[in-house]
Amino acid sequence: MTRILVTGAAGFVPSALAIRLAQLPATEVVAVDNLSTGDLRKLEPGRHPAIQFIKCDVNRFEDISSVFYAYRPDYVFHYAAVVGVKRTTDHPVDVLHDIEGIRNVLDLGKNTGVKRVFFSSSSEVYGEPVEFPQNEHTTPLNSKLPYAIVKNVGEAFLRSYQREYGLNYTVFRFFNTYGPKQSKDFVVSKFIRAALKGEDITIYGDGSQTRTFCYIDDNIEATVNAFRRNEVVNDVANIGNDRETTILELAALVVKLTGSSSRLHHLPPLKEGDMTRRMPDIARMRALLGRELLPLEKGLERILADTAYILD
């Protein structure tokens, strides 16, 4: 039996991951979350007997250590974090506390014989872009805001624990991921929610800033393959989509697919945290996935077939 600890498991990406891991043969998932922004319904209670949920704050050593010593996980996916541009810029001190969680997971992982720690880093570590596409090894990191700095520090902790204690790791740098269970304050969910309710769609600045959008299934399949095939060991992989879309194009696509009468409403650009452009080099992700990524229009159609969370 393989036991896997997933932190932040009531969140968008980690809940999908926990559910997928629980479907692997002879695998048990210990799912922890402090429910600060998480929602237990994302773990589909009652439907996955191989998932056990424990309410726990990863940043509090006494909470998370009892989970490690009681369950002795073989692998850890450390995905818990304070997330979201607005939340992380409004509460930078909370964000910095996440460094404690990273240290706790690594100290406990090293002391209990964990085989590999997987860490959800972010495209934000590249900061305001210096080159495209953004490559895991050749593009310099340019982290300035606390959220990006914490992810960068996390990566440094993983490398250091590997060097000094031999604890294996994998860093995934996630670029925008979207899907039906994403929080309502992210751009895709926000636009769809507004369009379905016939409300104005709010755009910061002129909408010419581009984003790439990775459908949740592509993220999960690539990362689970890295785990199952023992790849990206002590290394980094960008996880995202490399097709660029402007925010205006996204809004237009959402309006088209929903047949909405919503109008676009422009606000002044955000003061910080809204990069003009991002675009990952995803050669590595493509190799992990072994198939084409899902186009944005198809992903939006899948969300529109399952709007329970967005409209909740």
Ligand X SMILES: NC(=O)c1ccc[n+]([C@@H]2O[C@H](COP(=O)([O-])OP(=O)(O)OC[C@H]3O[C@@H](n4cnc5c(N)ncnc54)[C@H](O)[C@@H]3O)[C@@H](O)[C@H]2O)c1
- Using CB atoms within 10 Å of the CB of residue 130, give its burial: 0 to 12 exposed, 13 to 18 middle, 19+ buried: exposed
Instruction: Check residue 81 for interaction with ligand X (CB under 6 A).
Output: yes
Q: Which is nearer to ligand X, 104 or 262 (CB)?
A: 104
Instruction: Check residue 52 for interaction with ligand X (CB under 6 A).
Output: no
Helix (H, G, I), strand (E, B) or coil at 217: helix
Which position has the token pair 């996630």?
A: 174
Q: Which is nearer to ligand X, 188 or 201 (CB)?
A: 188
Of residues 136 through 175, those in contact with ligand X by CB under 6 A are 174
Q: Element (H or E) spanning 210, and its range?
A: strand 210-212
Q: Minimum CB separation from ligand X for residue 28, in Å?
A: 19
Stretch that binds ligand X, among 32-40, 162-170, 289-297, 300-308 (CB under 6 A): 32-40
Structure tokens at 95: 């964000």
What does the alpha-carbon distance between residue 7 and residue 77 come to, in Å, rounded to a whole number? 6
Instruction: Check residue 28 for interaction with ligand X (CB under 6 A).
Output: no
Among residues 4, 8, 53, 209, the one that binds ligand X under rule CB under 6 A: 8
DSSP code of residue 40: G
Structure tokens at 106: 């690594």
Q: Which is nearer to ligand X, 132 or 266 (CB)?
A: 132
Q: Which is nearer to ligand X, 95 or 262 (CB)?
A: 95
Q: Which of these is catalytic: 147, 169, 178, 309?
A: 147
Written as one letter, the residue type at 80 is A
Confirm whether 147 is a catalytic residue. Answer: yes
Among residues 101, 109, 127, 146, the one that binds ligand X under rule CB under 6 A: 101
Instruction: Check residue 189 for interaction with ligand X (CB under 6 A).
Output: no
Q: Element (H or E) spanning 29, and its range?
A: strand 27-33
Stretch that binds ligand X, among 7-15, 23-31, 197-205, 292-300 (CB under 6 A): 7-15
Q: Minimum CB separation from ligand X for residue 106, in Å?
A: 15
What does the alpha-carbon distance between residue 204 and residue 273 come to, in Å, rounded to a whole number? 12
Instruction: Check residue 134 for interaction with ligand X (CB under 6 A).
Output: no
Taking each continuous run of H as one helix and of E as one strand, the counts in the chain are 11, 13
CB 169 within 8 A of CB 76: no
Q: Minimum CB separation from ligand X for residue 178, in Å?
A: 7
**Could you give the C-alpha distances from 136 to 16, 50, 96, 173, 238, in angstroms and in order?**
24, 34, 24, 8, 6
Instruction: Check residue 11 for interaction with ligand X (CB under 6 A).
Output: yes
**Could you give the C-alpha distances from 311 to 51, 193, 250, 253, 304, in angstroms and in order?**
26, 6, 19, 19, 10
| Residues at the interface with ligand X (CB under 6 A) | 7-8, 10-14, 32-38, 57-59, 79-83, 101, 120, 122, 174, 176-177, 183
Q: Which residues are catalytic?
A: 147
